[in-house]
Amino acid sequence: MATPSAHASPRSRWASLLAAPLVASVVGSGLVLPPVAAAQETPTRPAPAQSSPTQTTQSRSTTAAPDPAGAPDAPSLRVPAAPPSGVRLDKVEWKSANRVALWVQSPAMEQAVQVQLMLPAQWNADPGRTYPSLLLLDGLRARDDASGWTLETKISQFFDAKNAVVVLPVGGESSFYTDWVSDAKGAAYQWETFLMQELPPLLARDWRVGDEHGVAGLSMGGTAAMMLAQRYPEHFQFAASYSGFLDTTSFGMPEAIKVAMQDAGGYPAENMWGPLGSDRWQEQDPKLHTEKMRGQSVYVSAGSGNTGPWDQPSGLPDIPTNFPGYGLELLSRMTTQTFVNKARAEGVEVTANFRPSGTHTWPYWQFEMTQAWPQFAAAVGIENVEKPCAAAGEIARVAERQPGLGPCLTGEYDVRGGKATDFRFGRVFWSQSTGAHSVLGAIGAAYQSEGGPDGVLGLPTSGETTTPDGRGRFSTFQNGVIYWSPSTGAHAVRGGIRAMWQERGAERGDLGYPTTDEITNPNKPGVVQGFQGGTVYWSEETGPKVVEGDILKAYREAGAENSELGYPVTDEIALDTRRGAFSRFQGGAIYWSPRTGAHVVPRGPVFDAWGTVDYERGRLGYPTGPLRNTAGGQVMEFEGGRITVSGGRAEIS
C-alpha cells in the first residue's frame, strides 16, 4: 500500500502500528489464514469462515465484509481502436537510447500526463515489428518525476534485452490508478480512463505496440493491476501483483486503505470510491471478481513480513527494523491469500509465491518482477530465450576498447549509410567513409531524438570527447555535433547556427553551451535555439542572429519572430550613448539603456520621426515606454519628449 523508505517518518511508523489490529481484524473474520513462515503456496480452497463474538464486536467499528454473492458486478470494458478526441502527444524526451518519456494530453485528467517507455532490444534493428506491452504500475507514494521502478530498481537492465514495450506511468500518488468519484486534492484523478481508454490506442498507432498485453504492479499498483485485468479481460493476457492488497473490502481493509492514503499525501479515501465499503468499493475489489480472470495468466506474490535477505534484523525474533514494511507485508500476505483462494475456487489458474520472509520494499519487488517474466513472456508469445549476439569487425574493436558499452543486445544490422550494433549502454555505428564510433549516454539519447542515423545528423564521425574546458563532452556527426554538460544536458547544433557558434568560440565563446535543441517555427519559416549566453534565431533570409538579455525579454514579450518584428537582422549592437544597445529586426528595432530598459520601436511613422532628430543621440533620447494606440493614432514616450501620430502624421513634442 505505502512504499516505505529506509528512514520511515513518524507518521509511517504510526501507520504501521495500525496494521496489527487490522491484521487481527482480518484474521478474526475467518476469511483468511495467518501466514505460515515456510509456506510457498496457498491452499487450493479457503478455510471455512468462522463466526465469533469477537467478529461481531469488530464489525461495529470497521466496515462489514460484503457478501460475494451479492457484490456489484465489475463491468467488462474494451479499449478503443483510436484515441478519443483531444488525446495528443505534447512532448517527447529521450532519456537514453532505449527509454523515452512521453507527455500525453489527457482530456480525462485535464493535463498532460508523463508516461515513460522502455523499448525492446530489437527496436532499432527491426523497425517494422510490433511488440507486446507490459503496463507496470507504481506504489502508493508514486512520484511526479519518474516511476519508482526506474528510480529504485535495475529493471531497465533486465528489460533491455527483452522484446516488450514496458509502459511506466509517472505520478498517481495514492490513486490506485482508478477513476475517482471526486477530486483528489484539486486534481482530476481519472487514471483508469487515461490508462485504458486514452493511452493504449495512441501507443498502438505511434509506438509499435501490438495486440498482446500484460499488467503488473507493486503494492497499490498490484491492487490496480488485478482491477484492470478484471475490467478489461479481453485486453490483458497476463496480470501480476507483487505485495498487492487484493481484498479491499473485508473487515478493516477500507479503514487500512484510508489510513495509508492519508499517510501518503493526505488523500481522502471517500473521494476515491465513495463511502467506505460502498457498492463502488465492492465493484473495485479484486477478490470479488476473480471469475473474470478465467483464461488469463495470473501471478501473485507476497512475503511474510519476517526479516529477509534485504532487511536489517531488529533484535526481536524474525522482526526487521523496517516496521512499516513488516506490517504492510502482513496485510498484503493475508489479502493476497484471500484472493488466491477465491480465484482458484472460480477456476482461475494462479501462480502464487508466498515467500517465507521479506518486507514491503523494493528489492523484493524487483526480484518478483524477474521471477514473473517467463510467465508473462509465455502469455504474450515472446520467446523467453535471449538470442546470442556478438559484435564483428571494426564495431567489435570499438567495443573491446570501451568495456563500458556493456554486452551486446543485437547482432550487426543495416542502418542508412552503414551498420550498427546495440549494446547495453550505447550503440556503435560503422560506415566505409566514417569508420566505427560509439554513441552512448545522454549524447546517445539526444542522437536518438534527432532520428539517429535516419535523421539530419547522419552517422557519427568521432567518439565522445571531453571539451577543452573540461566541463562537458561532445560527439561529431556527418552533419552536426552534439554537446553535453551537467547543467545544460545534451543538444545537437548544426547548419548555419553551428557555423556561427563555432566562429564565436563554440562552448568557450560568449554563447556557451546549447541549452535547447533546434526548434522549428511552425508559423514562419525559420528555427530558434537557446544557448547559455543568448538565443539564436535563423531564417533563410536573415541567417543566424543572437538576441540576448533584456532585449531578448522584450522581443519574447512582443511575440518574438511571430510578431510584426519578425526575425532579427543583426546581433545586439553596443551604442556609445549612455552605454545602451539595440537589435534590428525585419519589422523594427528594440532599444535598451540601463536607465530606460528595453522597448520595441516598430517600423512606421514613430520610428521615422525619431530618426529625424538623430534617434537616441538626439534630444528625445531613448524610448521609456511601449508604443501605445490612441483613439486618433499612436503615441510613444521618450526621455526628452514624445512622438504623437494622428491622421498619419507624426509630431514631436
Q: Residue 34 and residue 23: Cα distance in Å, rounded? A: 9
* CA nearest to 366, candidates 152, 164, 166, 167: 152
Residue 319 burial class via C-beta count within 10 angstroms: exposed 0-12, middle 13-18, buried 19 and up = middle
- The secondary structure of 158-171 as a DSSP string is HHTTS-SEEEEE--
Give φ, ψ of 602 to 5 degrees: -70, 160
Q: Across-strand partners of 134?
A: 166, 214
Is residue 574 classed as helix, strand or coil in its secondary structure? strand
Residue type, 177: Y
* CA nearest to 376, candidates 153, 196, 159: 159
Q: At what angle do helices 10-28 and 253-263 cross, to 10 degrees?
A: 170
Q: Residue 303 and residue 637: Cα distance in Å, rounded? A: 75
Q: Residue 267 and residue 259: Cα distance in Å, rounded? A: 9
Under 8 Å CB-to-CB from 649, ≥6 apart: which residues?
Answer: 605
Active-site choice (360, 437, 491, 599): 360
> How many residues in total does the chain contain?
653
Active-site choice (12, 25, 147, 219): 219
Give φ, ψ of 638 to 5 degrees: -130, 170
Residue type, 190: Q
Under 8 Å CB-to-CB from 138, ≥6 apart: which residues?
Answer: 3, 147, 148, 149, 168, 169, 172, 217, 218, 220, 221
Is residue 53 classed as helix, strand or coil in its secondary structure? helix
Q: Residue 342 and residue 47: Cα distance in Å, rounded? A: 11
* CA nearest to 384, candidates 238, 505, 486: 238
* CA nearest to 409, candidates 385, 387, 436, 429: 387
Active-site choice (329, 450, 572, 616): 329
Active-site residue 360, yes or no?
yes
- The secondary structure of 391-404 as a DSSP string is --HHHHHHHHH-GG
Residue 11 burial class via C-beta count within 10 angstroms: exposed 0-12, middle 13-18, buried 19 and up = middle
Q: Residue 602 and residue 582: Cα distance in Å, rounded? A: 13
* Buried b or exposed e, range 432-450, using 16+ CB within 10 angstroms: eebbbbbbbbbbbbbbbbb
Compute how many other C-beta atoms are within 10 angstroms of the C-beta atom of residue 526: 18
Active-site residue 450, yes or no?
no
* CA nearest to 249, candidates 50, 67, 35, 73: 67
Q: Radius of gyration over alpha carbons of the chain, in Å?
A: 31
Instruction: Tell how many helices (H) and how many strands (E) occur in the chain.
Output: 17, 29
Active-site residue 243, yes or no?
no
CA distance to 150, 161, 334, 368, 450, per residue, from 244 (Å): 19, 27, 10, 12, 40
Q: Residue 186 and residue 644: Cα distance in Å, rounded? A: 50
Q: Residue 336 and residue 33: Cα distance in Å, rounded? A: 11
Give the chain's end-to-end CA distance (angstroms, integer).
74
Annotated catalytic residues are: 219, 329, 360
